[in-house]
């Protein structure tokens, strides 16, 4: 655990597990209702940078990345993305004379483009962001990475 968020009880729990564990399992599967453990997964291709997660995270575990990944446009299945995004991506592909690569800077205060960065060390797995995410870019994995304990 990093400094900044000190969850004493959690650390104590980790110590206990370390003591009693005989082997070192990679991952353990948890029941869906089991909070605290588990991790948030972020899929950048689905994200629309509405910043709902950033604004609602109780611990500030999200950072705004003011960069729009151009190469992502090629990877996305346009028929599955949102209507206007598909139009914009299609137009960009059609008018591009260069290969779609690199990042485009997004001006500050322009929501809808760019991405967020999830800082796992600050996350307490409260799942608020996952519940609020309108696009399904954030999902919750009920697996717990045991490496976290051994670290």
Partner 1 sequence: MKKENEELRIGFFQCHCGKNIGGVVNVKEVVEYAKKLPNVVVAEENMFLCSDPGRNQIKEAIKKYKLNRVVTSHCTPTLHQETFRTVLKESGLNPFFHENVNTREHVSWVHYDDPKKATDKAKVLVAGGIYRVLKHKPIETIRVKVKKSVLVLGGGPAGIQAALDLGKAGYKVYLVDKMPHLGGNMARLGKVFPTDDCPICILGKKFHEIRTTKEIEVITYAELKEISGFVGNYKVKLIKKPRYVDENKCIGCLSCVNVCPVRVPKEWDEGLTYRPAIYINYPAQFPRVPVRDEKSCINCGACKRVCPTGAINFEQKPEEIELEVGAIIVATGYEEWKPKELEEYGYGRYKNVITQLELARMLDPEGPTHGKPWRPSDARFDKRTRKLIIDGKPPKRYVFIQCVGSRDERYFSYCSKICCMYSLKHAKMILTDVDPNAEIYMCFMDVRAAGKYYEEYYRDIQKLGLRIIRGKVSEIRENPDKSLTVIVEDTLLGKKIQLNADLVVLASALRPRKDARELADKLRITLSGDGFFKELHPKVGPVDTVTAGIFIAGAASGPKDIPDSVASGSAAAARAMALLGKGEIEITLNKAEVNEELCIGCGICQKMCPYGAIKVYETYKGRKAKVSEIECQGCGACAGACPTGAVMRRNYELDQIFAQIEGIIKAAKELFKDEPIVICFACKQCAYAASEAAGTSRLKYPPNVFVIRIPCSGTIDPAYILKAFKEGADVVYVGGCEPGSCAYVDGNLKAEKRVKFVKNILDKIGLGSERLEIFWIPAPEAKKFAEVAKMMVERARKLGPNPLRVKEMKIPMKITR
Residues 92, 70: Cα–Cα separation, whole Å: 9
Binding mask 131-150 for partner 1 (x = CB under 8 A): ---xx---------------
Of 82, 120, 147, 150, the one binding partner 1 by CB under 8 A: 82
Q: Alpha-carbon torsion 48, 50, 52, 57, what sign?
A: positive
| Cα–Cα distance measured from residue 114 to residue 51, given in angstroms and rounded to the nearest whole number | 10
- CA–CA separation, 84 vs 86, rounded Å? 5
Binding segment (CB under 8 A) for partner 1, from list 31-39, 94-102, 116-124, 140-148: 94-102
Binding-site string for partner 1 from residue 6 to residue 45, where x marks contact by CB under 8 A and - marks none: ----------------------------------------
């Amino acid at each position: 655990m990093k400094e900044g968020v000190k969850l004493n009880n959690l650390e104590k729990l980790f110590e206990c597990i370390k003591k009693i564990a005989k082997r070192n399992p990679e991952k353990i599967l948890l029941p869906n209702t089991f909070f605290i453990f588990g991790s948030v997964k972020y899929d950048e291709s689905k994200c629309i940078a509405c910043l709902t997660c950033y604004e609602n995270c109780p611990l500030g575990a999200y950072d705004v990345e003011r960069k729009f990944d151009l190469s992502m446009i090629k990877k996305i299945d346009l028929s599955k993305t949102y209507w206007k995004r598909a139009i914009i991506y299609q137009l960009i592909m059609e008018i591009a004379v260069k290969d779609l690569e690199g990042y485009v800077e997004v001006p500050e205060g322009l929501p809808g483009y760019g991405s967020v960065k999830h800082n796992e060390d600050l996350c307490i797995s409260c799942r608020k962001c996952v519940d609020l995410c309108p696009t399904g870019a954030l999902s919750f994995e009920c697996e717990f990475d045991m490496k976290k304990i051994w670290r």
